[in-house]
A and B are shown apart, each in its own frame.
Chain A
Amino acid sequence: MRARTRRLYTFGIAALLLAAAAALAFFALRENANLFYTPEILAEKGTPDHGKEVKVGGWVEPGSLTYSEDGATMIFTVIDNSPNTITVSYTGIAPDLFREGQGVVATGTFQADGSFTARQILAKHDENYQPRELKPLEAAG
């Protein structure tokens, strides 16, 4: 096999794989990049499709935290500067810095009744660290 033919094949295979990877990446980014909702954005855009994973963020409304009967699930309300709210339920351990009145970002899906079931929650840590998504919120508030 001549070097030129071989190089042609090599680049062909590389290009093919690269194209496949790019297509997969494009598809994956469109499907799986999480959109971020605050109560205000939710009111504007409407509830996303049931089953699609998204993020919601805001502050934990003081006094809203309750637990399910078996104690494993925590249920709280997320608020921002708008009149709208989101009810979030999460089965698991609360992050160390989870507090009522503090910032929180939850990843999960909206249910048919409009409530949000979180797979993971992150709490605002301190002045030095906060979830990236909450930065614009903070500036507005």
Chain B
Amino acid sequence: MIELGHLAAFLSLALALAQGIYGLMGQRRIAGWAAMAAFGLMLISFLTLVMAFVRSDFSVALVAQHSHTLKPMLYKISGAWGNHEGSMALWCLVTLGFGAAGAVWMKTGREKLEARTLGIQGLLAVGAMSYLLFASSPFLRLDPAPFQGAGLNPLLQDPALSFHPPMLYLGYVGYSFVFALAAAGMMESRIDAVWAREARRWSLAAFVPLTIGIALGSYWAYYELGWGGWWFWDPVENASLMPWLIGAALLHSVIVTEKREGFSAWTALLAVLAFLFSIMGAFLVRSGVLTSVHAFAVDPERGAILLFGLVLYGGFALILFALRAYKLSGGKPWVLLSREGALMANNIVLIVATLTVLLGTLFPLMAEAAGKTISVGEPYFRLTFTPMLAALLVILPVVQAWAWGKADLSNWMKWAAGGIALVLVFMALGVGIWSISLGAAFGLALGVWLVFGALYELSRRAVTVKRVFKMPPRVWGMTLAHVGLGLFVIGAVVETTGRYETTVALAEGGTGTAAGWTLTLDEVRAIEGPNWYADRAVLTAVKGGTKAVLAPMKRYYPAAQMPTTETAIHKTGTGDLYMALGEQRIVDGEPRWVFRVYFNPLIDLVYFGVILMAIGGGFCLWPRKRTKTA
């Protein structure tokens, strides 16, 4: 079976090469067919790999190293990409998938542009496929086959994390197609409205899954690691945040290219950078320079190949950019205070914010190379990233009403007065009633300001209530995304500044208090699952008239010889009561169990906001139909 997959992958590589050559020769049709065939073959190949995991075929080395017969079916399947080789196969599949999708759905009416895009996409696939087949093949056999596999890292045996890698890869690799479009556009020195309409759709097609993928990863970290937080500024998290920020900048810049043919060089550059940052993320995570559950490949040689790929792609694209940027058109005229100017400000801030994240992520590595051990944590990012983003969000509601070319500034006093009043009200409330810090009050005001701004903009464009529901999908998309951003800011500010955490050690039958809840430890019992055993505590939490039962667990996976924390979460509507079970301690001769107890206020708003951003992106992707007067 797996040999069939191996063969199909080789054929797919050959077809991807054909796609590359015919595409660059301008043969749109042939390149398109090659792209679809290459994708079909790689799909077969990938499915044979998944089948090997499903059937626990331990004669396949990869399955023996990463699977186990007792593992639940979902994790057998997700185990196929829960390792370095399998995830590279997924990367190849998605690269070819975007090529095939492009062959079907690209509609620019410009044969040469489309052909070259497919060609470059094909060559990107050739690079990934060669790496897969010659440097990290998932298709190798073991002889003799072991009777049992080594199991998947237990931390990864989780529903959210089963879908986290495919989503993230749809995002990362989605930018490969945007990259290909940008390179093809630069080859013919035409980055214009037609190009931008196409590039915008593909940028969204990458941005939406990337957003969902990051949210899934963050949600997993929240309930699986037992640390109570949802973002730890871990280098691995930053590696996914950076392409997201560049992607967000690109989404805003490409609008200017689409509507006004402006920013064309800049948009092309961002399109290139989004993919380069995606590969850099993969490199950081996969080369072993970082230590984390994601660092599958601790093989420096593989890291070196990825770095080589990054330099090769980056070098090609940036040289092309340097040669062609000056030829690209400047678009229609505009002054600084205009929608163009506002979107330019958006881009500058997002890029500078990306750079601060990059510095914070790489600085410890550079320091280590210089013989020093330094860790950069949350305080750094709070001081650098947060003010940058805040500055952007302050102007967003004001400037999104600005017109192209030159803004009408007649009512700027109203905006300024409204904004300052809002901040003052929240600061007064914050100090007087909620007793929170001024920074937190400002953050809350900012969130409300954003939600208000987004809704105001919708009403301004619709003019009458009747027309609100007739607005084109992309206006709805923008509104939802900006409302989501505002809700995210509110949730993030409330959660990070209002989080309550404590530690209690309870004897069986004992009682303690945390976050206003009275906790009684009813029992701790040893239980057994399909491929793990665990200590499971049952607690009754009482606050006022509400009563909840929580059952946090500490699991042990014998196959991997590794314990994991299974938190218990009780949703109250205003936040999560969150408990993690620790070890047993003998205190004064009496056995006690330790619990970490958190109350995370409005945590759901964080995820709801992010998901709303993704849904907004989805709306923007929706084709605008039956409107001939565009």
A contacts, CB < 8 Å to B: 1, 3, 6, 9-10, 13-14, 17-18, 21, 24-25, 27-29, 31-36, 53, 55, 67, 69-74, 91-94, 96, 107, 128-129, 132-133, 136
Q: What are 22 A-B contacts defined by CB distance under 8 Å?
A: A10-B348, A13-B348, A21-B352, A21-B388, A24-B356, A24-B384, A25-B359, A25-B360, A28-B380, A31-B383, A32-B383, A33-B380, A34-B377, A35-B374, A70-B504, A71-B505, A71-B594, A93-B226, A93-B595, A94-B583, A94-B594, A96-B565
A28 touches B349 (CB 8 A): no
A133 touches B373 (CB 8 A): yes
- Do most interface residues of chain B lie in helix, strand or loop, or is the interface mixed? mixed
How far, in Å, is B15 (CB) from chain A's closest CB? 39
Which positions 476-506 of chain B face chain A at CB distance < 8 Å? 502-505
A129 touches B291 (CB 8 A): yes
Which residue, of A21, A36, A55, A69, has the highest number of chain B Cβ atoms within 10 A?
A21
Smallest CB-CB A-B distances: 10 pairs = A71-B505, A93-B582, A71-B587, A28-B383, A32-B379, A72-B503, A1-B335, A33-B374, A28-B380, A96-B563
> B580 interface residue, CB < 8 Å from A?
yes
Nearest opposing residue in chain A for B330, CB measure:
A3
A sample of 11 more A-B contacts (CB under 8 A), given A18-B352, A25-B356, A132-B373, is: A1-B335, A1-B336, A6-B336, A14-B348, A21-B352, A25-B380, A32-B383, A36-B373, A53-B379, A71-B592, A133-B373
A21 — which chain B residues lie within 8 A by C-beta? 352-353, 355-356, 384, 388
State A78–B580 Cα separation when bound (angstroms): 26
How far, in Å, is A24 (CB) from chain B's closest CB? 5
Nearest opposing residue in chain A for B561, CB measure:
A126
B375 touches A10 (CB 8 A): no
A34 touches B333 (CB 8 A): no
- If the complex has contacts A92-B503, A94-B583, A132-B291, are A24 and B387 also in contact, measured as CB distance less than 8 A? yes
State A132–B368 Cα separation when bound (angstroms): 9
A93 touches B384 (CB 8 A): no
> B316 interface residue, CB < 8 Å from A?
no
A96 — which chain B residues lie within 8 A by C-beta? 562-563, 565
Interface residue from B333, B353, B580, B592 paired with A1 (Cβ < 8 Å): B333
A32 touches B377 (CB 8 A): yes
Interface residue from B335, B384, B562, B583 paired with A25 (Cβ < 8 Å): B384
A36 — which chain B residues lie within 8 A by C-beta? 373
A27 touches B383 (CB 8 A): yes
How far, in Å, is A119 (CB) from chain B's closest CB? 10
A132 — which chain B residues lie within 8 A by C-beta? 291, 368, 373
Nearest opposing residue in chain B for A18, CB measure:
B352
A91 touches B503 (CB 8 A): yes
B344 — which chain A residues lie within 8 A by C-beta? 10
Interface residue from B349, B359, B588, B596 paired with A93 (Cβ < 8 Å): B596
Nearest opposing residue in chain B for A67, CB measure:
B587
B334 touches A1 (CB 8 A): yes
State A9–B336 Cα separation when bound (angstroms): 8
B334 touches A6 (CB 8 A): yes
A69 — which chain B residues lie within 8 A by C-beta? 587-588
B585 touches A67 (CB 8 A): yes
State A31–B367 Cα separation when bound (angstroms): 15
B interface size (C-beta, 8 A):
50
Chain B positions 315 through 356: 1 when the CB is less than 8 Å from some CB of chain A, otherwise 0: 000000000000000100111100000001100110011011
State A118–B580 Cα separation when bound (angstroms): 19
B349 touches A33 (CB 8 A): no
B596 touches A92 (CB 8 A): yes
> B458 interface residue, CB < 8 Å from A?
no
B503 touches A29 (CB 8 A): no
B352 touches A17 (CB 8 A): yes
> B412 interface residue, CB < 8 Å from A?
no
A67 — which chain B residues lie within 8 A by C-beta? 505, 585, 587
Which residue, of A33, A35, A70, has the highest number of chain B Cβ atoms within 10 A?
A33
How far, in Å, is A60 (CB) from chain B's closest CB? 14
B contacts, CB < 8 Å to A: 226, 291, 298, 330, 333-336, 344-345, 348-349, 352-353, 355-356, 359-360, 363, 367-368, 373-377, 379-380, 383-384, 387-388, 502-505, 562-563, 565, 580-583, 585, 587-588, 592, 594-596
State A18–B354 Cα separation when bound (angstroms): 11
How far, in Å, is B153 (CB) from chain A's closest CB? 12
B580 — which chain A residues lie within 8 A by C-beta? 93
Nearest opposing residue in chain B for A131, CB measure:
B291
A33 touches B348 (CB 8 A): no
Interface residue from B368, B376, B505 paired with A29 (Cβ < 8 Å): B376
State A136–B334 Cα separation when bound (angstroms): 58
B384 touches A28 (CB 8 A): yes
A93 — which chain B residues lie within 8 A by C-beta? 226, 503, 580-583, 594-596
B505 — which chain A residues lie within 8 A by C-beta? 67, 70-72
State A74–B387 Cα separation when bound (angstroms): 37
A92 — which chain B residues lie within 8 A by C-beta? 503, 582, 594, 596
State A14–B345 Cα separation when bound (angstroms): 8
A70 — which chain B residues lie within 8 A by C-beta? 504-505, 587
State A93–B348 Cα separation when bound (angstroms): 43
State A120–B480 Cα separation when bound (angstroms): 38
How far, in Å, is A137 (CB) from chain B's closest CB? 11
How far, in Å, is B167 (CB) from chain A's closest CB? 26
State A29–B374 Cα separation when bound (angstroms): 9
A25 — which chain B residues lie within 8 A by C-beta? 356, 359-360, 380, 384
State A72–B368 Cα separation when bound (angstroms): 35
B502 — which chain A residues lie within 8 A by C-beta? 72
How far, in Å, is B535 (CB) from chain A's closest CB? 12
- If the complex has contacts A67-B505, A93-B503, are A13 and B345 also in contact, measured as CB distance less than 8 A? yes
B375 — which chain A residues lie within 8 A by C-beta? 33-34, 55
State A57–B502 Cα separation when bound (angstroms): 24
A33 — which chain B residues lie within 8 A by C-beta? 363, 367, 374-376, 380
Which residue, of A17, A28, A36, A128, has the highest number of chain B Cβ atoms within 10 A?
A28
B387 — which chain A residues lie within 8 A by C-beta? 24
How far, in Å, is B276 (CB) from chain A's closest CB? 19
How far, in Å, is B336 (CB) from chain A's closest CB? 5
How far, in Å, is B387 (CB) from chain A's closest CB? 7
State A28–B382 Cα separation when bound (angstroms): 9
A14 — which chain B residues lie within 8 A by C-beta? 348, 352
A17 touches B348 (CB 8 A): yes
A72 touches B504 (CB 8 A): yes
Nearest opposing residue in chain A for B290, CB measure:
A132
A9 — which chain B residues lie within 8 A by C-beta? 336
- If the complex has contacts A1-B335, A25-B359, A28-B384, are A34 and B352 also in contact, measured as CB distance less than 8 A? no
B377 — which chain A residues lie within 8 A by C-beta? 32, 34, 107
State A75–B356 Cα separation when bound (angstroms): 37
B363 — which chain A residues lie within 8 A by C-beta? 29, 33
